[in-house]
Amino acid sequence: MSKQSDKRLYFPVGEVERVEYPCTKCNQGFYRYTPDGERIEKHNQMQHNCTHCNAVTFFTIPYPALKYKNRIFVDWETIRGRASEKI
């Protein structure tokens, strides 16, 4: 996307933190949202796989997420699967 076609305005917020969920099985990787994974409709949970051991778990929000002023935000890069490097 070129800058000229982007009509949005951007305001700096600062101090945004990236929220990762460490894997409790291997303690080496992080759980990352799997875009084409399973989804538990009943609880609205999304599949995540560990970057190291590929363990599967489910969360209601896709990680890695962003945190700003104690609110958790969804990262569009995560939804697109960029964070897990699976495009």
Task: Answer yes or no whether residue 26 interacts with Zn ion by CB under 5 A.
Answer: yes
Nearest residue to 48 (alpha-carbon basis) of 39, 58, 38, 40: 58
Q: Which helix (H) or strand (E) holds 77?
A: helix 76-79
Stretch that binds Zn ion, among 10-18, 25-33, 58-66, 68-76 (CB under 5 A): 25-33
Nearest residue to 85 (alpha-carbon basis) of 44, 30, 42: 30
Q: Determine which residue in the list 19, 22, 55, 81 makes contact with Zn ion, applying CB under 5 A.
A: 55
Tell me whether residue 13 or residue 86 sits nearer to Zn ion (CB atom): 86
DSSP state, 50?
Answer: E
Nearest residue to 35 (alpha-carbon basis) of 24, 25, 49, 54: 49
Task: Answer yes or no whether residue 48 interacts with Zn ion by CB under 5 A.
Answer: no
Stretch that binds Zn ion, among 5-13, 32-40, 50-58, 61-69 (CB under 5 A): 50-58
Binding site for Zn ion (CB under 5 A): 23, 25-26, 29, 50, 52-53, 55
